[in-house]
């Protein structure tokens, strides 16, 4: 027997109904905010991520599913959505046609991490990217958009932590401050962090090991590395955030640095207590240099990504089970004998083409077992047809709630069923 690969999960119909409900709520909010969907391929050139996310990041050094394709090209299963979206934006010349774009996306991402609760190798993200603006109002909109999606999906107990990493020069200053701070602590940092020290000291703040986490606590006590422009931008974001509805749960945290190198200026993470060690349900920030670094114009951009699997864990804790989306069966058809089944098939298709949710048992099971199916499916009506009914060109329609039965001739059937469904209440 074959099994799904480690860290990759099927979504069976009972799960899928929750996924659809969650995605539907998110799409609804995106559309209200004027965001439009973008879909990019799952497979991309490896170099796209190495250049954008950064050669020293965990994602690039350890987590990418990469391989040579049949044409010996270095390709990867996408580990995140931002770089492909910027690639698509530039490839379609949107920067020349209409530079300001608000995108959203939903889809699978792949990272070869150690699977555990809330951490998979194929996971799914709902995200948004605004390309073409430096305005702090856009940062506030992105944060509010993210929190509206969480609210709509019944997730309440979340916290948003906000920081500003500064522009390119500020990040160099910050790296220098960190290097000096960690210099005499090298022996107590883990091996990975010792490597990060020279190449990318900001990554040390992101280390998940307890030992390193304890040391990093004092690293930014009085760090002052932001230029005036970035300080102003940060105050602007906070001012705009004050104009959002009461209750936006945002607090400042200088230790939020994010695990991807392209971030500059505003960064944020959203945590939820139901997630334990993997407590981030989503994260995001500005990437003002990425479009230019990828060969486009110098324009600002900001985005976020939420993990769907983690959202489902959080919403199960905060609001119980999300309501599913599959519509209830309105008419279930039970037949006796091959001849009546053929006629019933005609009726079934007529019902479906009229938009009535209906189903049938094709296997010739006993009437008793078909009625059991109808109950299991919570059908509102069962349409029963055997040789007798077929001979008289009529059917028996049973209301499954009050067990009332009526005989209805074929030629009046659809209209009658519609009428009955209109007056049916649960
Ligand atoms: P973490 O610190 O948990 O590794 P991250 O910083 O690597 O998260 P991002 O790249 O910011 O994560 O991705 C945004 C969101 O995607 C995360 O907040 C999380 O909800 C989800 N996510 C990331 N990696 C995984 C994974 N391996 N399994 C499930 N969800 C994930
Ligand atoms: Mg990670």
| CA 55 – ligand 1 centroid, Å | 18
Which pair of tokens denotes residue 177?
């401050």
Q: Which atom of ligand 1 is nearest to the CA of 125?
A: 16
**Is residue 131 classed exposed, middle or buried when 0-12, 13-18 and 19+ CB atoms within 10 A define those classes?**
buried
Find out whether 281 and 270 touch, Cβ atoms under 8 Å.
Answer: yes
Which of 9, 10, 215, 261 is closest to 117 using CA atoms?
9
Decide whether any atom of ligand 1 lies within 6 Å of the 125 Cβ: yes
Cα of 280 to ligand 1 centre, how many Å? Answer: 7
Q: Cβ(119) to ligand 1 under 6 A?
A: yes
pLDDT of residue 247: 64
Q: Indicate the DSSP class of residue 107.
A: E
Ligand 1 site, residue 120, Cβ cutoff 6 A: yes
Interval between CA 372 and ligand 1 midpoint (Å):
44
- Are 279 and 273 within 8 A, CB to CB? yes
User: Ligand 1, atom 8: nearest CA belongs to which residue?
Assistant: 280
* Rg of the chain, C-alpha, whole Å: 28
Residue 306 Cα to ligand 2 midpoint, Å, equals: 12
* Ligand 1 atom, smallest distance to 113 CA: 27
The answer to whether residues 314 and 272 touch, using CB atoms and an 8 Å cutoff, is: yes
CA 14 to mean position of chain CA atoms: 18
Atom of ligand 1 nearest to the CA of 305: 14
Ligand 1 in reach of 280 Cβ (< 6 A): yes
- SS3 of 405, please? strand
Separation CA 28–CA 127 (nearest Å): 13
Please check whether residue 40 is in contact with residue 347, taking contact to mean a CB–CB distance below 8 angstroms.
no
pLDDT at 279: 85
CA of 57 to the centre of ligand 2 (A): 10
The pLDDT score that the predictor gives to residue 37 is 98
Mean pLDDT by 10 residues, the chain (426 residues): 97 91 96 97 98 91 96 98 98 97 98 95 98 98 96 92 95 91 89 87 85 85 88 96 81 89 95 89 97 97 98 88 74 96 96 95 92 93 96 96 93 92 76
With CA atoms as reference, report the closest residue to 127 among 145, 141, 113, 100: 145
Query: What pLDDT is stored for residue 318 in this prediction?
Result: 87
Ligand 1 pocket, 282 CB below 6 A?
A: yes
């Amino acid at each position: 027997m074959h099994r799904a690969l480690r860290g990759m999960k099927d979504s069976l119909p009972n799960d899928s109904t929750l996924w659809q409900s969650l995605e539907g709520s998110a799409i609804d909010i995106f559309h209200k905010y004027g965001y439009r969907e973008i879909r990019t391929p799952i497979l991309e050139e490896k170099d796209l991520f190495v250049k954008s996310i950064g050669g020293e990041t965990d994602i690039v050094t350890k987590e990418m599913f990469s391989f040579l394709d049949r044409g010996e090209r270095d390709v990867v299963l996408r580990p995140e959505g931002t770089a492909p979206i910027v690639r698509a934006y530039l490839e379609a010349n949107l920067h020349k046609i209409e530079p300001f774009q608000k995108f959203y996306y939903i889809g699978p991402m792949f990272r070869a991490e150690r699977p555990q609760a809330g951490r998979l190798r194929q996971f799914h993200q709902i995200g948004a990217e605004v390309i073409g603006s430096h305005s702090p109002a856009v940062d506030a909109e992105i944060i509010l958009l993210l929190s509206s999606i969480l609210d709509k999906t019944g997730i309440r107990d979340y916290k948003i932590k906000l920081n500003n990493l500064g522009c390119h020069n500020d990040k160099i200053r910050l790296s220098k401050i960190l290097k000096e701070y960690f210099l005499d602590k090298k022996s107590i940092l883990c091996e990975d962090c010792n490597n990060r020290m020279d190449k990318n000291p900001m990554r040390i703040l992101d280390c998940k090991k307890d030992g390193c986490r304890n040391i990093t606590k004092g690293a930014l006590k009085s760090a002052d590395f932001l230029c005036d422009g970035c300080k102003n931008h940060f105050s602007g974001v906070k001012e705009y955030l004050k104009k959002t509805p009461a209750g936006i749960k945002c607090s400042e945290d200088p230790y939020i640095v994010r695990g991807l190198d392209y971030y500059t200026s505003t960064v944020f993470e959203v945590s939820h207590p139901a997630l334990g060690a993997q407590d981030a349900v989503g994260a995001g920030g500005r990437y003002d240099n990425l479009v230019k670094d990828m060969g486009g114009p110098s324009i600002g951009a900001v985005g976020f990504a939420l993990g769907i699997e983690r959202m489902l864990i959080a919403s199960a804790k905060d609001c119980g089970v999300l309501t599913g989306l599959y519509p209830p069966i309105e008419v279930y058809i039970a037949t006796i004998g091959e001849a009546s089944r053929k006629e019933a098939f005609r009726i079934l298709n007529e019902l479906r083409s009229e938009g009535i949710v209906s189903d049938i048992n094709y296997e010739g099971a006993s009437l008793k077992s078909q009625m059991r199916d109808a109950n299991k499916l919570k059908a509102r009506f069962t349409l029963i047809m055997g040789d007798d009914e077929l001979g008289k060109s009529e059917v028996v329609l049973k209301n499954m709630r009050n067990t009332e039965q009526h005989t209805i001739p074929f030629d009046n059937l659809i209209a009658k069923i519609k009428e009955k469904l209109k007056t049916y209440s649960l």
